[in-house]
Homo-oligomer: A and B are copies of this chain.
Amino acid sequence: MLSNHLQNGFETAKLVWSQIPNSEEAEHEGVGLLSTSGGSSSVESLDYEVIENYAYREEQAQRGKLYVGYSVVVKWFFALLIGIGTGLAAVFINISVENFAGWKFSLTFSIIQKSYFAGFLVYILINLILVFSSVYIITKFAPAAAGSGIPEIKGYLNGVDIHGILLFRTLIGKIFGSIGSVGGGLALGKEGPLVHTGACIASLLGQGGSTKYHLRYRWLQVFRSDRDRRDLVTCGCAAGVAAAFRAPVGGVLFALEEVTSWWRSQLMWRVFFTSAIVAVVVRSAMGWCKSGKCGHFGSGGFIIWDISDGQEDYSFEELLPMAVIGVIGGLLGALFNQLTLYMTSWRRNYLHKKGNRVKIIEACVISVITSVISFGLPLLRKCSPCPESDLDSGIECPRPPGMYGNYVNFYCSKDKEYNDLATIFFNTQVMFYTLAVVTFGIAVPAGQFVPGIMIGSTYGRLVGMFVVNFYKKLNIEEGTYALLGAASFLGGSMRMTVSLCVIMVEITNNLKFLPLIMLVLLISKAVGDAFSEGLYEEQAHLRGVPLLESRPKYKMRQMTAKEACGAQKVVSLPRIIKVADVVSILRTNKHNGFPVIDHSRNGERLVIGLVLRSHLLVLLQSKVDFQHSPLPCDTRGGSKPISHSFSEFVKPASSKGLSIDDIHLSSDDMEMYIDLGPFLNPSPYVVPEDMSLSKVYNLFRQLGLRHIFVVPRASRVIGLITRKDLLIEDGEDSTTVELQSTSVRAQRRDKSLLTRNTEAELPLLNGLLVEDHN
């Protein structure tokens, strides 16, 4: 009896799994998961595979072909919303930071006229309040908003869900925390946090708002697959970069190169659109602010590096000092990564274990130190009038304000005076470097772009000054070398390549130096790679975010798929299973997927598919699919209504989901059965047991899978699929097919008959199809 209906079971599952819509969301390879049995409790699995359920088909049947066009429109609309949202968030952060900083400086400046010391105290106090507000928000309210967030987002897009990184409270914490920490004058930037902000906005839009804060709008809840959410988050990342640097192309490339693990060319254009929207929003806001409606906010909030008056040309002699900058950048960047790694791991293991109070005190102490240094250093040297000799060599005096042009000219009132901050900072580069290292990892939102640019441009300018003195005849600008220095440090630390290059070009709005920036980045990245991994990879590693790299490890070449499974015991389920058995299996192990085994007509055992733990939990909780008989459900006539809606199987974006301990079943329930047939993935990817693990890795990584079955070698080959078998045109009617191959057509006709019969038999479908068939 049992085996008689295997074929039907197959058909059911196939039907369910094949009726996914003709839209992007339908490519339903889930993204890998991290077993919750891993070390860090904060790391969770991403259930990207959840969507392919029978209830999904139900939705499709309700909506029909129109849904395809609808979903495309919705996706573009969301890209628009993400762009607008991220752009506005960036503008808000910038306006706030600029106003706080401006107000702080004008207050300090006015007090300083009366008492130096009082001004000093006020300056320290304001910074302290701002930093305290930031660290308080983060520790009490949104712990996931600390740091830059880029490693976490990278992990999310690689398939690892770190708890809480995309919550509404994280978004709020990120925005206000950034304002506090950046406004408070710490040695960090707001660019990394903006990437995280963009990702949060995208994710929240995708789930229709926050559940917890009753900000959820049903009409917005259209993105139900984790794949769609991932696409949205990718858009959000690009939007964040575009907003941070006003670099739309850089944003796209950053998303492509740095954060995403899976990339589809269709997505590229949408990501680009989002970035363009951000650029338009930011531009409009800046235009609006020019009329003075935003207080101190002007263009200063964005990194804009104007080297339009930089040198026109470069000669071959300059390539050597530029290469030197690249080497320095690589070395200092790798050192920075290593030092921050030690700092962070020390913090995690000792300091931050002592609770939030320690985190708050730490941030405050660092704030005071930073204030003292930034206030005290310029005092070491008095304002001097601009030397006449320097005017010839092309150095501007006073220097035009850089990205954070607040310090220069701070104490000097006259136009042609400068307080030689440059010289001081050259002497105290070590100081700033140390500040950046120490600041990295405190519990506030913190980006490393601005510190990197500050450090890099300092030594770059140093090299530039040397070059100016050395090659006197050339038309050399220090500014160019400062730019290259910044690029080299960022390249040596973050190891970004193409995207960083484009971001630097877009920041400077100057394409002339592109080859030079590339040269410097090539060198600094190569030098850095010789010592350590990139900043984001190291941080992700430290935080227990297990990223799957794009290439398999060398060792995998000598391993087989079977060896990789190790001693792990496979727990297989029969198709019709007793509820008590399900419960005991779910309790006794932590596997997230189970093979389902059934017997064919001739008694042969066959693997009929994969069922997910989360789906089993939903079935156990709802109880509507329990049945008394141990027979497949599709044999008992079409009486049973559809019992599950699609949304039940969708994992909430930012919660832990169901646990077996949450489900309470009576002893009667325990005696009943479940037919897993309709709920399984009928064809998970399989590999033969002795396939090289590097091949398996490629399969897993390229397709973004969660589970691969390792099976014995096949006994025979039914067919070979080659390129020409896959060159099928859509929209061919049966006549065309007939001309090509009669046998295919015959098969198809059989299939369609079979399918229709199966449909008519299937209780699952009856609720929907009854109008059509009767």
Interface residues, chain A, CB within 8 Å of chain B?
10, 14, 17-20, 22, 24, 26-27, 29, 32-35, 37-38, 159-160, 248-249, 252, 256-257, 263-266, 268-269, 272-273, 276, 279-280, 283, 497-498, 501-502, 505-506, 509, 511, 514-515, 518-519, 522, 525, 546, 548, 550-568, 570, 572, 591-593, 595, 597, 604-608, 682-683, 685-703, 706-732, 741-744, 747-748, 751
Instruction: Determine whether the beta carbon of A567 is less than 8 Å from that of B14.
Output: no
CB distance from A77 to the nearest CB of B (A): 13
Instruction: Determine whether the beta carbon of B606 is less than 8 Å from that of A713.
Output: yes
Given A515-B248, A515-B280, A682-B690, residue A604 in contact with residue B744 (CB < 8 A): no
Instruction: Determine whether the beta carbon of A683 is less than 8 Å from that of B711.
Output: no
Q: In the assembly, how many copies of this chain are there?
A: 2
Instruction: Determine whether the beta carbon of B548 is less than 8 Å from that of A727.
Output: yes
Instruction: Determine whether the beta carbon of B502 is less than 8 Å from that of A566.
Output: no
Give A319's nearest chain B residue, CB to CB.
Answer: B280
Instruction: Determine whether the beta carbon of B561 is less than 8 Å from that of A719.
Output: yes
Give A608's nearest chain B residue, CB to CB.
Answer: B713
Give A747's nearest chain B residue, CB to CB.
Answer: B563
Given A276-B519, A717-B607, A730-B554, residue A248 in contact with residue B514 (CB < 8 A): yes
CB distance from A20 to the nearest CB of B (A): 6
CB distance from A36 to the nearest CB of B (A): 10
Instruction: Determine whether the beta carbon of A725 is less than 8 Å from that of B566.
Output: yes
Contact of A564 among B280, B592, B707, B721 (CB under 8 A): B721
Instruction: Determine whether the beta carbon of B34 is less than 8 Å from that of A276.
Output: no
Contact of A712 among B502, B572, B694, B718 (CB under 8 A): B718
Q: Which B residues are in CB contact (< 8 Å) with A572?
A: 716-717
Instruction: Determine whether the beta carbon of A497 is less than 8 Å from that of B570.
Output: no
Q: Which B residues are in CB contact (< 8 Å) with A35?
A: 722-724
Instruction: Determine whether the beta carbon of B683 is less than 8 Å from that of A607.
Output: no
Instruction: Determine whether the beta carbon of B721 is less than 8 Å from that of A687.
Output: yes
Instruction: Determine whether the beta carbon of A718 is less than 8 Å from that of B565.
Output: yes
Given A248-B518, A264-B550, A266-B551, residue A709 in contact with residue B715 (CB < 8 A): no
Contact of A692 among B18, B604, B698, B729 (CB under 8 A): B18
Cα–Cα distance between A518 and B278 once the two chains are bound (Å) = 12
CB distance from A122 to the nearest CB of B (A): 41
Instruction: Determine whether the beta carbon of A566 is less than 8 Å from that of B257.
Output: no
Instruction: Determine whether the beta carbon of B716 is less than 8 Å from that of A710.
Output: no
CB distance from A520 to the nearest CB of B (A): 11
Q: Which B residues are in CB contact (< 8 Å) with A692?
A: 14, 17-18, 683
Given A249-B502, A595-B720, A718-B710, residue A725 in contact with residue B546 (CB < 8 A): no
Instruction: Determine whether the beta carbon of B518 is less than 8 Å from that of A22.
Output: no
Give A708's nearest chain B residue, CB to CB.
Answer: B721
Give A269's nearest chain B residue, CB to CB.
Answer: B497
Give A277's nearest chain B residue, CB to CB.
Answer: B515
Instruction: Determine whether the beta carbon of A707 is less than 8 Å from that of B724.
Output: no
